[in-house]
Each structure stands twice: as structure tokens, then as C-alpha cells.
Amino acid sequence: MRIALVMGTSSGGTGRHVHDLVSGLVTAGHDVVVLSPGGELDQFDYAGVGAATVELNVADRPHPARDARAVATLRDVCGGADIVHAHGARVGALAVLALAGLDVPLVVTIHNASPGGGLLGRIHRVLETVVARGADLVLGVSADVVERQRELRVKRAELAVIAAPPPRAVSRDRYAVRRDLGIDARTLLLVTVARLAPQKDLDLLIDALAEMLVRHDIDVVAAVAGDGPDRERLQTRIDTLQVPVRLLGHRGDVPDLIAAADAVVSTARWEGQPVGLQEALHSGAAIVATDAGGTAAVVGDAAILVPVGDVPSMARALADVLLHGAVRDDLRSRAIGRGAELPTSADALEAALTAYRSVV
């Protein structure tokens, strides 16, 4: 098949997924072209795995003149394809406009839920509506995204299969990690891997830890690997409440941190198929997470799930894991089993090909 894959700007997860698909499709003998902004073409090196590439000048926000040029590029390149697969509501909507009147099937994978209210929320809802009305098949990374598309009366909506990242090697033991963090070997360690942004709701981690420490005398440090626009505000809140939370910034040793953790924590308001928790499952970590988006579908029974934004429930869950070794051991055992069940790149490729054949 002649397959065109379209992607907008990506913070990482979408780009890696598309890279996996491109590699598998090319290996299977398909003719693949990737249309994406220049930065993403360089970052993910689609040409290096055998795909043709075309720079697509799109950004996060609408821009009438630039978007019109992007639509023209998409129509010119994708008009001769057997299938077009767009990743993201924004480029999905542009692909709908570009393919209008052409007999080219369109599959769109939506990787994020609506950001909520405000201008960005309204824009996302418009994009979702355009995709629902124009795509032949919409794949959602979580059940709530799929349900949203069905509410918009899409032709077909199904759950996307996204490969979990393969396990990464650990280079240091838990004692070396603690030593590098400057904490005692007996100090309990919570690890969160998250961008410092509203979606990840790290205020919940700070508030829950503060509430837990009012009730329990626990020697604990929470380490957050990641950076983002909320860093200064979060640090001020940490200092004001005097809670043992460390904002580590971007880290290249995430596997070491996860392996050394007594528990891995996610406080997100929404997740699709969270990479950090998939890595935690592979590592056999005890997990506490909010029941956000597709989190439950990823972790199965291998985590303690609490309601989104619920400080008392998160505080109780953290105390339960930190105070009771038997709880941690049970969660770790479940994580190892669940990690072995996560989808692979081969699973994601087969699911994509099945989707393509269903609309061609």
C-alpha cells in the first residue's frame, strides 16, 4: 500500500509511536511517506527507517495562511495515497479538508482529550467535530476519547493500540540513587515522571503528601522527574507547605529512579496510555495513580487507583503503600505480570494494518 502518515508537533509519545509504525510498515514492504514539521522530521528520523518525508508547516495554534498552505501540501502529497493516517485532532482536521472530494480513505488517531474550557478547549472541540464528520475511522488512545467521537456521530471509532516502550536498562541500584539524591538509604522514595504542567496536577501530589504527613510520621521524599511551565509556581508551593518534594528537572536516568522507588505515583487529570506508568510496570514498581483517562486500561489491577483531584484519597493510598511492605510487594508482583501483557510494536503494527484494510 501507499501510506501517508501525518503528524503535527509532538512532545515525544506521538512521534515515537509514528516512528514505530513507519519502521514496521517499511519493513513489511509498504511505500510510506511522512508529513510533519521539520523539527519532528529531524528528531524522529523517519527517513532513517526508509520513509519518504515532506515538511508540513503546522504549529500548535491555528494560523489561516499557514494552515491553508498545509492543506495544499497535504492534498498534493496525499492525493495519490491508498490510505492517509493522521495523528492528532489538529492535523486530522487539516487532512479532512485536504482530502475533500478525493477518494482517499482517512484514519485519524486522537492522542489527547480536550484541554477543557477556554479558547483551547473550544478550538479542540471544533477540530474534533471536523474529524468526526470527515474521517472514515477514528482511533482514540483511551475509552473516553472513543466515546467522545461516538457522541459526535463519527462513522467508526475504536480504541487505538499503542506499543508500550520496551524495558530500559537500569545502571544504578537503589542505594546509589538515594546517595545521588542526598537522602538516607532508609528514606522511602516516591517517584513521579511528569511534565510540570496543569494536566499532570502535581498540586495533588504536594497536597496529598502534606496531608499524609500530618497523620503519619514517615521518612519520605517525593522526587519528580520532568520540567515545564509550572516549575516556579510548584516550587513556591512546596516551599510554603514545607513538604519533602524535589523537582529534579529533566532526567536521563528515569529507569534508575523508577527501579529505586518504593512507589511510583501519577496524579494526572487525564492520560491516554501513560508511558511513565508503562515503564513502571516493566520495572515491577508499586504504583499509585489517579483513575484518569486510559490509566486504568493500562495498569489493570496492578495499581491503587484514586479519583482525579481527590487529596484525601491520594493521601490514604500513599500512606497504605509506604507503611505496609506487604501492599508494596503485592503491587510489585502484579506490575510484573501486567507489564508482560502490554502491547508491543508488532501488536500496534498489526492493529494499524487491520484498521487500514477495513477502510481501503
Reply yes or no on whether the pLDDT at 123 is more than 90: no
**Per-residue pLDDT tens digits for 181-210:** 999 989 999 999 999 999 999 999 999 999
| pLDDT for the residue 124 | 83
For residue 82, give the nearest of 66, 59, 105 by alpha carbon: 105
**What's the CATH class of domain 174-339?**
alpha beta
| pLDDT for the residue 11 | 66
What are the sequence ranges of the domains in the chain?
2-163+344-359, 174-339
Instruction: Judge whether 299 and 334 are in contact, CB under 8 Å.
Output: no
Eight-state DSSP code of residue 256? H
Q: Of all residues in the chain, what percent are helix, strand and coil, respectively (each to 5)?
A: 50, 15, 35
Dihedral (C-alpha) 19, 25, 30, 33: value to the nearest 10 degrees?
-10
**Per-residue pLDDT tens digits for 221-243:** 999 999 999 999 999 999 999 99
Which residues make Cβ contacts (< 8 Å) with residue 256, sequence separation at least 6? Answer: 170, 171, 172, 176, 177
| pLDDT for the residue 317 | 98
In terms of CATH, what superfamily is 2-163+344-359? Glycogen Phosphorylase B; (3.40.50.2000)
| pLDDT for the residue 120 | 76
